[in-house]
């Protein structure tokens, strides 16, 4: 199988280059920023569940998941049914998302912490996230150098955004930068998109103490969340388990109640 991550990142770099060429980023000046300071990490720490409910329509590994889902409806429902925060995919070719989805989500849930989940390769994508009302951005260690992670985090902080630095194995622990607000362990292999829940358990002892710790991908049972919380995780990013259902919001509610 070809490396899916490489394909996504190559495409993302072309997208960014096209936006520069077309002057898209010129409209995102700092005085126009419409995001207000809402702490994504604090919301997780204050939550009983720590669930980051994700909105996405498809994935490279599963194909179409919920192609007709409407971001405003799903995110508003997530907020009403126990989500501490939400993650919105804004990649179109591989995940079926868009910045329009993010804008709809922001309007539908103005007080809910939102993460722009994107393959960030350029600081202008962070400015773009702030312009659309994000409260946090994802930075993927497999995609960025340590210097880029530090520089992008500093830039995000200057825009009232927090950062979630995502790791995929012990070989990336040197990229768990101290300035990150949150450190995520993704149980999904981004080369093959297969999942292994043991990754979160194996990594927890090696993560920096100061960052809020988040387990991502492959979580399908409230008891799994309880076990990971006991180990030190405070955030749990879940997407497919909810989005594959006709009513993702009801799926979230049932998940929390242990009746899914």
| Contact (Cβ atoms closer than 8 angstroms) between residue 187 and residue 217 | yes
User: What spatial distance separates the first Cα and last Cα of the chain, rounded to whole Å?
Assistant: 33
Cα 131-132-138 angle, rounded to 5 deg: 95
C-beta separation of 66 from 249 below 8 A? no
Report the alpha-carbon distance of residue 213 to residue 36 in Å, rounded: 23
> β-strands 85-89, 235-238: how paired?
unpaired
DSSP 8-state class, residue 49: S
Instruction: With beta carbons less than 8 A apart as the criterion, state whether 119 and 79 touch.
Output: no
Distance CA 26, CA 29 (A): 7
Strand, helix or coil for residue 117: strand
- Chain length of the chain: 260
Report the catalytic residues.
Answer: 54, 56, 117, 166, 186, 216-217
Q: Cα(260)–Cα(255) distance, rounded to whole angstroms?
A: 5
């Amino acid at each position: 199988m070809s490396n899916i991550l490489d394909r996504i990142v190559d495409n993302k770099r072309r997208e960014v280059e096209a936006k520069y060429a077309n002057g898209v980023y010129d409209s995102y000046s700092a005085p126009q920023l419409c995001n207000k300071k809402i702490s994504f990490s604090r919301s997780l720490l204050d939550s009983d569940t720590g669930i980051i409910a994700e909105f996405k329509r498809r994935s490279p590994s599963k194909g179409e998941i919920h192609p007709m889902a409407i971001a405003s409806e799903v995110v508003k429902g997530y907020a009403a049914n126990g989500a501490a925060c939400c993650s919105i995919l804004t990649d179109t070719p591989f995940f079926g998302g868009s910045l329009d989805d993010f804008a709809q989500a922001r309007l539908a849930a103005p007080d809910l912490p939102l993460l722009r989940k994107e393959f960030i390769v350029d600081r202008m994508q962070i400015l773009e996230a702030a312009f659309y009302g994000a409260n946090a951005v994802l930075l993927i260690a497999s995609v960025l150098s340590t210097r880029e992670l530090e520089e992008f985090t500093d830039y995000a902080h200057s825009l009232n955004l927090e950062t979630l630095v995502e790791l995929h194995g012990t070989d990336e622990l040197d990229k768990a930068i101290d300035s990150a607000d949150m450190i995520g362990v993704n149980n999904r292999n981004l080369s093959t998109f297969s999942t292994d829940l043991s990754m979160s358990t194996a990594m927890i002892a090696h993560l920096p103490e100061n960052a809020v710790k988040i387990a991502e991908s492959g979580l399908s049972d409230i008891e799994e969340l309880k076990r990971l919380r006991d180990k030190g995780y405070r955030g749990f990013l879940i997407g497919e388990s909810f989005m594959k259902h006709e009513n993702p919001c009801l799926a979230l509610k049932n998940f929390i109640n242990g009746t899914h």
